[in-house]
Structure 1
Amino acid sequence: MGVRQWLRSWPVIRQITGDDPSGRGNAVRSAATERTAPRTAHADSVTRSICPYCAVGCGQRVFVQDGRVTQIEGDPDSPISRGRLCPKGSASKQLVTSPSRVTKVLYRRPYGTDWEELDLGQAMDMIAERVLATRAATWQQRDEDGLTLRRTLGFASLGGATLDNEENYLMKKLYTALGAVQIENQARI
């Protein structure tokens, strides 16, 4: 390769000496550029989703290849975000694919020092038993004047901003049905 040909291989030289002074066309293209492809080009499927981080509800497109999430981008068809994501939403892939993500139920017994793994069914049964026991122990049918209350002050709900509207709706319905009156959401506080 001669010096002249070697110099022409540099995009900046092609830009200065060629017919593309703005560097937006052929001057900046190279063999390496031609070989590149978007990370989303080889996805097996694309699923629409909602960003999990706040209550805005920005639309996301989740690209899946070989059963694994390969990319998460903003959904241009979303009327809320029109394809844009904030920095946290743009990093959603890390939330899903991080090797440090906890995928098992961990439980630390009272006064315990170590975590132990539990079966999901066992953990759900423990939670249900404790909720029902607390409800039974703290249930208020009537007040001292005989007025009907039908409530419990034994537990409360504080929803997080990472929950979407549907999840918050279902939590509100559940806790109201259980008789709780202290139901709040982080987004409203």
Structure 2
Amino acid sequence: MSGPTFLNWPVFRQFSSGDSSGRGPAVTSQRQRDTTPRTAGADSVARSVCPYCAVGCGQLIYTKDNKVIQVEGDPDSPISRGRLCPKGAASQQLANGPGRITEVLYRAPRASDWQKLDLDTAIDMIVDRFLDARRNWWEDRDEHGKPLRRTMGIASLGGATLDNEENYLIKKLFTAAGAIQIENQARI
């Protein structure tokens, strides 16, 4: 690359190209013209919600070959208007982190090792335990005959990584099941 000359001087380029305001191509360097965005090679873009807190900032998730390559704030989001906090901006690591567990692991009571389970087996185990706890701890009426229709064997502690819609549905599910001990980490 040759050194700076009078013809490369931005003020000269500004007047010779007709860019009188100095805000167009006259003031861009060759390096700036050669730079491409990180998202230029993306196959697809998906809109999502940041998983970290209950605010619900909008995200644009750029993928290439079914792998997340970039996460940016969604400028159309009325909540965050294209901005993300440091945790939200780093959520690409949540999908691509080398320590991410992608299989269902189960450790039996008093066992020292984890074993892999298929998803259907794990879900069936959870459902069986949920129904047993509801059935075994159900309180239909109190000692005076007043209706309670509740269970003390089920409690829920929601996480702040769930969005508002998920927390709403979880609250509805546990209330319908008769649980009264329902809390959320974002509120504590």
Both proteins in one fold, TM over 0.5: yes
Are 1:55 and 2:54 an aligned pair? yes
Alignment partner, residue 20 of structure 2:
none
Alignment partner, residue 122 of structure 2:
123
Deviations 1:56-98 (A, max 9, x none): 1101111122222111100001111000000000001110111
Alignment partner, residue 143 of structure 1:
142
| More divergent stretch after superposition (131-140 vs 61-70) | 61-70
Question: Which structure: greater helix fraction?
Answer: 1
Check 1:18–1:40 CA distance in 2 against 1; reply closer, same or farther (3 A cut).
closer
Q: In the alignment, residue 160 of structure 2 is paired with which amino acid?
A: A
What's the secondary structure of 1:34's corresponding residue?
A: helix
Identity of aligned residues (%): 61
What's the secondary structure of 1:188's corresponding residue?
A: coil
Residues 86-165 of structure 1 aligned to structure 2 (within 5 Å): 86-165=85-164
Q: Which runs of 5+ in 2 are unaligned?
A: 13-22
Q: Is the 8 A contact 2:10 2:26 kept in 1?
A: no
RMSD across aligned positions (CA): 2.2
Are 1:167 and 2:174 an aligned pair? no
Q: Which runs of 5+ in 1 are unaligned?
A: none
What's the secondary structure of 2:135's corresponding residue?
A: helix
Deviations 1:123-170 (A, max 9, x none): 111111111111111000111111111100111001111110110011
Instruction: Give the superposition deviation at 1:35.
Output: 3.0
Distance (whole Å) between structure 1 residues aligned to residue 107 and residue 76 of structure 2: 44
TM-score, normalised relative to structure 1? 0.85
Check 1:121–1:144 CA distance in 2 against 1; reply closer, same or farther (3 A cut).
same
TM-score, normalised relative to structure 2? 0.85
